[in-house]
Structure 1
């Protein structure tokens, strides 16, 4: 888990995540995203969080939507991968979005 593209003046940040292959598929990434999101909104005071992933990465899209990040659109040729530039999906969440909790209940 990490934050990048942090803009403290606007209270906006990009959330990033990555898991080793053997840890994938157990819901850990979505849980970590929910926990980080709660901390960012409640403790750090961010007003917008966003994340992006390659359109080819279906699992990452599932993590984003499971964690309550609404799809906002496609960003073309915006992500550099080993095999070249990929289109990306952009997802975002606001503190006012429904279901802003850590998912532990």
Structure 2
């Protein structure tokens, strides 16, 4: 999964010219946190109750590439 994040990040930064792509995932999803870190997305903070999933509200981690 970590390799799958490389292409869209390069596309967003290069071809599209995004200044700062962001990645969010539930704080309950440790695997997503590891994938983000492996691809150079730093954890910048936690957004409290930012998403509603089938099992209720979730806090979300916010990551951005270095």
TM-score when scaled to structure 2? 0.92
Structure 1 residue runs of 4+, over 6 Å off? none
Structure 2 residue runs without a partner (length 5+): none
CA RMSD of aligned residues (A): 0.9
Higher relative contact order (CA 8 A, sep 6+): 2
Greater helix content: 2
Q: How many residues align?
A: 66
Unaligned runs of 5+ in 1: 1-28, 98-105
Give 1:92's aligned residue.
64
**Bigger radius of gyration, 1 or 2?**
1
